[in-house]
């Protein structure tokens, strides 16, 4: 147990030193962790910082790059569809902070918490050795944010942002020792949606898209009690990074 706590502390320090910002949804090991008919319950957290691009449309004459910071918390339920297939659903909340200098906005007020939900699958595709399995993961999440933006000329208007995120990963999961698993690999990431703004002098909406779609991630999972495990991971793309934590109870 002491060795596992030390390893977890090392991973936490390494993640904090390697990442200059944070983003994205938790992925965990990219293999099925449940047998057919088994259930799991979990709590997940992530903190995000990413660059997104609002496309030309409606009232603006140029594309607009924005920085978004986001906290997410989920309750997760998983189900073993087959011995090598696992599906899961997420429900929780998200908190966002964002700024856009191009339009001269100085501050934004927003709802304290927005609903976020998602789901996905994991499948084991190849067993290289008794302690090394390869798998594929796919997941999607949705969140909707709203608030009020104020310009330098005191004009204010309501804004709303709908954000959809897709992640697809492939990679190995290696059992380093009893109760300690290392995992990771490359992944594809895409964030899309739109921003709508409405006020006395502003009206319209624009689609947004994330600026980078290829990344990689690495994480560690630790068994802290019978059927209970915790994981911590770092994800990286060209313009986004993420630190994510999970606590899972397998039934």
Distance CA 132, CA 173 (A): 6
Q: Which of 248, 42, 48 is nearest to 143 (CA)?
A: 48
Q: What is the pLDDT of residue 99?
A: 60
One-character DSSP codes across 14-59: HHHHH-SS--S-----SS--S-TT-EEEEEEEEEEEEEEEEPS-TT
Q: Which of 110, 103, 107 is nearest to 150 (CA)?
A: 107
Angle value at C-alpha 55, between 67 and 45, nearest 5 degrees: 35
Q: Where are the alpha helices (DSSP H) in the chain?
A: 2-18
164 contact partners, CB below 8 Å, separation of at least 6: 140, 141, 142, 191, 192, 193
**Residue owning tokens 């942002």:** 161
- What CATH architecture is 2-250? Beta Barrel (2.40)
User: pLDDT-based confidence at 244, cuts 50/70/90?
Assistant: very high
pTM of the model: 0.79
Strand partners, 229: 223, 248
Q: Is the dihedral of CA 117, 44, 124, 87 positive or negative?
A: negative
Query: Is-contact 24 2, C-beta < 8 A?
Result: no
pLDDT tens by residue, 155-207 = 677 778 888 889 999 999 999 988 899 999 999 988 888 877 776 655 667 77
- 96 or 250, which is more confident: 250
Strand partners, 124: 135
Query: Is-contact 50 78, C-beta < 8 A?
Result: no
Q: Does the pLDDT value for residue 230 go beyond 80?
A: yes
pLDDT tens by residue, 20-49 = 333 589 999 999 999 999 999 999 999 877
**Rg of the chain (C-alpha set):** 20
């Amino acid at each position: 147990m002491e060795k596992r706590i030390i390893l977890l502390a090392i991973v936490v320090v390494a993640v904090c030193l390697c990442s200059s910002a944070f983003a994205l949804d938790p992925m965990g090991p990219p293999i099925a962790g449940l047998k057919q008919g088994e259930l799991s319950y979990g709590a997940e957290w992530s903190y995000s910082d990413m660059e997104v691009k609002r496309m030309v449309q409606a009232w603006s004459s140029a594309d607009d790059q924005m920085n978004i910071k986001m906290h997410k918390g989920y309750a997760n339920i998983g189900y073993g569809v087959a011995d090598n297939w696992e599906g899961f659903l997420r429900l929780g909340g998200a908190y966002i902070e964002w700024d856009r200098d191009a339009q001269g906005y100085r501050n934004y007020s927003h709802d304290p918490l927005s609903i976020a939900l998602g789901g996905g699958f994991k499948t084991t595709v190849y067993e290289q050795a008794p302690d090394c399995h390869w798998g594929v993961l796919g997941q999607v999440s949705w969140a909707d944010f709203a608030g009020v933006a104020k310009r330098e000329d005191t004009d204010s208007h309501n804004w709303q942002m709908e954000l959809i995120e897709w992640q697809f990963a492939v990679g190995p999961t290696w059992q380093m020792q009893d109760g300690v698993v290392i995992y990771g690999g490359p992944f594809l990431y895409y964030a899309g949606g739109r921003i709508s703004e409405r006020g006395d002098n502003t009206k319209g909406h624009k689609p947004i898209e994330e600026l980078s779609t290829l990344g990689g991630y690495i994480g560690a999972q630790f068994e802290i009690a019978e059927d209970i495990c915790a994981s911590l991971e770092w994800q990286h793309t060209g313009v986004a990074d993420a630190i994510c934590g999970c606590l899972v109870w397998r039934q």
